[in-house]
Amino acid sequence: MNVERQAIATSIPTARKMLWPALRAVAALDGSARIHEIDQTTIELERFTEEQQSVLHGEGPRTEIGYRLAWARTHLKLIGLLENSARGVWSLTDAGRTILDQDEAAVIRLYDEFLRRRKRSVTPERPTTRDDDREIIDEEPTWQEQLLEGLLDLAPDRFERLSRRLLLEAGFASVTVTGRSGDGGIDGTGIFRQSLVSFPVFFQCKKYRGSVGPGAVRDFRGAMVGRGNHGLLITTGTFTNEARREATRDGAPPIDLIDGEYLCELLKQHEIGVTTAVVEQVEIHLEALQEL
């Protein structure tokens, strides 16, 4: 990492300092939201630059901002201020709503107390790193990070075919992968049917580490000119807030965006390369036996 990029990375707050902004972001989204909405709103509240949004955590695929916000959400859940559902929706708890009436210092105090309790239970076998003097972060990769690494290893044509399968599973009536060079960045077309109406959708697949900027959205929209008005951009990376604004710019054909996090959830939902194990939980109620 060069000196300039190192300076940009250093300017990104630690996960500990992301706790309050992440909590405020969920509150700004009426108390519940999906990951990409929380990340996007936090970036806007903290006014992170496009350069900061592009910094990767290690060699990727996650950005440093996305990585630290992921741990901020996890720690906010551990200290009882956020909860998340099986559908990937994060919500404020009653404690989370109450503490918003205080200030950032109240959240930090609660977090530091959690760390003091956790420090006493950490074993040498548990891999951890310190992001600052009072922050412990587990370094084991999430299932999403492992999946994204696997997707990045796919040949481009296989990633396009995976996208085709996903679109078919998601309700497209037909999907064709062009696979032709010089096609203006369009990797395929699909027919999406909604009730009695159907319309063509053009899609582009980008295996990418880090953030996709607004230029890629503009280029894709330009390739669609004269062909159609519905576009879908799929990436293993993330989209900067500038890219998301460009995708929904007034007066221009809208581009729907699927980032790496959402792509993982869709693959999980449609069980494409991802399965979820259901663990049986047995509870014993001895008092019920006494009543027989």
**Mind listing the domains of the chain with CATH numbers?**
3-139 (no CATH), 147-269 (3.40.1350.10)
Structure confidence at residue 20 as a pLDDT band (50, 70, 90): very high
Q: Which of 120-124, 128-132, 149-153 has the highest mean pLDDT?
A: 149-153
Tokens 């990029």 belong to which residue? 5
Interval 50-80: pLDDT, tens? 899 989 888 777 889 999 999 999 999 999 9
* pLDDT higher than threshold 50 for residue 272: yes
DSSP 277: P
pLDDT at 85 over 70: yes
Q: What is the mean pLDDT of residues 141-153?
A: 88
**For residue 145, how far is the Cα from the chain centroid?**
10
Is residue 1 over pLDDT 90? Answer: no
**What are residue 192's phi and psi, to 5 degrees?**
-100, 125
Q: Cite the DSSP H helix spans in the chain.
A: 3-10, 15-28, 35-46, 50-54, 64-78, 94-99, 104-119, 143-152, 156-169, 214-224, 241-247, 260-269, 286-290
DSSP-derived secondary structure letter, 102 = S
Looking at residue 141, the DSSP 8-state letter turns out to be P
Model pLDDT, residue 236: 94
